[in-house]
Amino acid sequence: MSEPDLPSLRLPSPERREEVVQRLSAAFAAGRLELEELEQRLEVAMRAQTLAELDATMQGIERDPPRAPLVAPNPAEFAIDQPRRHASKVTFAMMGGLDRKGKWSPSRRHAAVALMGGAFLDFREAALQPGETDVYLFAMWGGIEVAVPEGIDVEVSGGALMGALERVSQESGSTDPRRPRLHLHAFALMGGIEVKVLKPGEAWKADS
């Protein structure tokens, strides 16, 4: 007699694991999770040995109302800043690679996750919104490369555990609150994240 096919016994398929990780990333981008919660749930999702363990990482997320964004723009100060219907909220790479470059529109709160894969984010032609754009980078057994243009305010915070974070920050000196600014919140767990300032058309070159 075969063993009962129960969620507590079944191994999660790679496709199901990827689906859950994408849903967790989307929940974070929508403000339903904070960064620490995302990191904890992603690690559990990647290590889950049964379908029940994997599905448990989604408990209490999609039923809850969205939380307030970390940085709420002042409507009077940013009257021209209207929500973008097609703004990108998540960049996700799992056991593969993904490039986001050229002309694209990041949301004010963007999440980039690389799990056993690699992601490349190029902000040189990105249409950034006025004020600060928060980009949350999480690499686990993978890597994320970020290219930023010259002249834009960039702040990189975060760290690495059994991994590496190569950061660069630059300030334009401008006091205009409408000027686009990037704040990269980075965390690498047994992975790597690197941020570089590149000129238009300049190719990414690995450090020797």
- What single string gives the DSSP state of each residue in 147-200? EE-TTSEEEEEEEEESSEEE---B------TTS-EEEEEEEEESSEEEEEE--T
Residue indicated by tokens 């990482």: 57
CA distance 74 to 54: 39
Q: Give the whole-number percent of the chain exceeding pLDDT 90.
A: 24
The confidence band for 86, taking pLDDT boundaries of 50, 70 and 90, is low
Mean pLDDT over residues 5-32, rounded? 77
Q: Alpha-carbon torsion 27, 30, 155, 149, what sign? A: positive
Bridge partner residues of 91 (DSSP) = 112
Q: What is the DSSP letter of 203?
A: P
When the pLDDT of each residue in the chain is averaged and rounded to a whole number, the result is 79
**Extents of the domains making up the chain:** 8-68, 86-203
- Please report the pLDDT score of residue 181 as a whole number: 93
Q: Alpha-carbon torsion 11, 113, 185, 133, what sign? A: negative
Q: Are 143 and 122 in contact (CB under 8 A)?
A: no
Q: Which two tokens stand for residue 73?
A: 């723009």
Mean pLDDT over residues 75-87, rounded? 42
Least confident range of 31-40, 65-74, 113-122, 159-168: 65-74
Residue 77 in this model has a pLDDT that exceeds 70: no
Q: Are 168 and 196 in contact (CB under 8 A)?
A: yes
- Please report the pLDDT score of residue 82 as a whole number: 40
**Nearest 5°: phi and psi at 205?**
-120, 130
**Percent of the chain that is helix, strand, coil (3-state, to 5):** 15, 35, 50
Which is higher by pLDDT, 71 or 85?
85
CA distance 38 to 57: 10
The confidence band for 6, taking pLDDT boundaries of 50, 70 and 90, is low
The confidence band for 9, taking pLDDT boundaries of 50, 70 and 90, is low
The confidence band for 173, taking pLDDT boundaries of 50, 70 and 90, is confident
The confidence band for 202, taking pLDDT boundaries of 50, 70 and 90, is very high
CA distance 200 to 119: 19
Residue 121 in this model has a pLDDT that exceeds 90: yes
Cβ-based neighbour number of residue 155 at 10 Å? 15
Which is higher by pLDDT, 82 or 142?
142
Least confident range of 66-70, 181-185, 197-201: 66-70
